[in-house]
Structure 1
Amino acid sequence: MSKASSTVATTDNEAAKPKVAVVVFLLNGKKVLLGRRRSAVGNSTFALPGGNLEFGENFEECAAREVKEETGLEIGATELLTVTNNLFVEGPKPLHYVTIFLRSSLTNTDQVPQNVEPEKCDGWDWYDWDNLPQPLFWPLEKMVNSGFNPFPA
């Protein structure tokens, strides 16, 4: 049995099931929207808006719902950028997330992000892609360090 499968075999049934997260690179010029997490996983790190895919939702619906729930912002059309496979084995309970990364922009550039879920986030702000705040949430940090760029070529 491989290390990964032995890790899964020793967890409870719910933790052993991968979950799907949809996150959004919400772009505004050369800036991206990030919030500081308040969570058992990645606490105090900067992350993109997003969350769990709900039963029956497509990726675009999930992205629009999550961005609205977390920031109060309305987003335009989305574009699939990449998918990552993330194992969080160091937290209180192991988690496995397949993360769908989308790109979008605001439907109206006069909108201002609000901290709609203060129990989950310390607040949202726009950051220059070339000068991101630290520390970044691990999956995002991994992408940035790989040279990934969410901006259209």
Structure 2
Amino acid sequence: MSHLSRTLPVKRAAHVYLVRAGELLLVEERMDDGSIFYGLPGGKAYAGETFADAAVRQVKVETGLNVTDLDFVSLLEGELLTGTKNECYAMFSRFTAHFNGDLHPTDPEVVGIKWVPFEQVESLVRYGPPPECEERNPLIWVPTRDFVRGKARTYYPI
């Protein structure tokens, strides 16, 4: 049996669980199909950028908030979206952090920011289609589901 190797692009991203009084801060972004997607503040890390630095930078752009004292919560890692044009090896890191400042997003893709009670977070998640849309892959939301239930694990293999 021959082994065919292939090289997948690596996608590294960092997101932050910002919490106040049983609520989680979510950003509202408009997808290509016009629908609203709710996600954690954060996003893609630049080449050579640490997950923590990416988290601080992305949260500032998406929310206007300054985050400090990041605490690592979990890493989601593995092959994602296999067989689609967006297939990649994903490494998604999640943190909690202290925060200060005013909500003022400067990212043009962010159309709103919302404090959502923990018990309502899962009801905002929309899965599929299209299948190549990473944000709608249920695996991406498993760490967040566990976090709001108080059962976060450190490592989530895809």
TM-score of the aligned structures, taking structure 2 as reference length: 0.69
Question: Aligned residues, how many?
Answer: 138
Greater strand share, 1 or 2?
2
Match of 1:22 in 2: 14
Instruction: Find out whether 1:116 has 2:90 as its counterpart.
Output: no
Match of 2:116 in 1: 127
CA 1:100/1:40 → structure 2, altered by over 3 Å: closer, same or farther?
farther
Backbone CA RMSD of aligned residues: 3.2
One-letter identity of the residue aligned with 1:85: E
| Identity of matched residues, % | 21
Specify every segment of 5 or more residues in structure 1 that has no aligned partner in the other structure, as ranges: none
Q: Deviations over 1:107-143 (max 9, x none)?
A: x3xx33223213x222111111112251254345323
Match of 1:95 in 2: 88
Specify every segment of 5 or more residues in structure 2 that has no aligned partner in the other structure, as ranges: 127-134, 152-158
Secondary structure of residue in 2 paired with 1:76? strand
> How do 1:3-152 and structure 2 match up within 5 A?
9=6, 16-39=8-31, 44-85=36-77, 87-89=80-82, 92-106=85-99, 108=100, 111-118=101-108, 120-132=109-121, 133-136=123-126, 137=135, 138-145=138-145, 147-149=146-148
TM-score of the aligned structures, taking structure 1 as reference length: 0.71
Asked if 2 retains the 8 angstrom alpha-carbon contact of 1:26 and 1:33, the reply is yes
